[in-house]
Amino acid sequence: MRADATRNLERVLSTGARMLADDPSATIAAIAAEAGVDRRTVYRRFASREDLMAAVYGARYDAVEAAIEAARLREAPVAVALHRYVEGIIAVNRKWPVETSLMLREVTILERRRGLIDEVDAFLRRATDEGLLRSDLPRGWVATVLPPLMEHAAENLSELSPAQAADVVVDTLLRGVGAPQAR
């Protein structure tokens, strides 16, 4: 694909993600106009709105996979890997703010998601085994509370960089929200 075509596709997909998050009924024509490309360009690439949405979901998962890979969950020290992972996912959530419940209807996304969940779960077990996370919590608890923390940080801490928002999330995860107790 030519460089300009690649840039146009990226613009259409990221604009589509943002617009569909704001208005799930956004049209291809509106997305094309906002992305600064001719709607015929978008229709040549995507036969339907559903095809465009599937491509947006695929691009989001490409970004999630890249964030997980960059975090080096298997080999980096667990505290470093946790922060990298959280920072990367916050950045993905900001760039690709799609409604995940709709996204999970896509069969290919469900398959990819399972692999990512398994990788993160293995990392969280490693973090527990190495003492970063508590071992007395119910099984799967951290995996349940971490995604909403990252999502809320992406949406509600927009004045912070992804790294700064990750500081807040990791601190909240590791230390909670209660006031420190006097000793």
pLDDT tens-digit map of 95-135 = 988 776 666 666 777 778 888 999 999 999 999 999 999 99
> Of 11, 174, 161, 16, which is closest to residue 97 (Cα–Cα)?
16
- What is d(CA 139, CA 137) in angstroms, rounded to the nearest whole number? 6
Q: How much is the pLDDT for 183?
A: 67
151's tokens:
């999502």
Neighbours of 133 (CB within 10 A): 19
List of residues 6+ apart from 126 with CB closer than 8 A: 73, 74, 78
* pTM score over 0.85: yes
Task: Give the pLDDT score at 111.
Answer: 79
What percentage of residues in the chain have a pLDDT greater than 90? 58
- What 3-state class would DSSP assign to 69? helix
Backbone angles phi, psi at 162, to 5 degrees: -55, -35
For residue 70, which amino acid is it?
Answer: A
Determine the distance from the C-alpha atom of residue 67 to the mean position of all C-alpha atoms in its chain, rounded to a whole number.
8
pLDDT at residue 54, rounded to an integer: 84
| Two structure tokens written together for 120 | 């993160």
Portion of the chain with pLDDT greater than 70, in percent: 93
Cα-flanking dihedrals φ and ψ of residue 161, to 5°? -65, 165
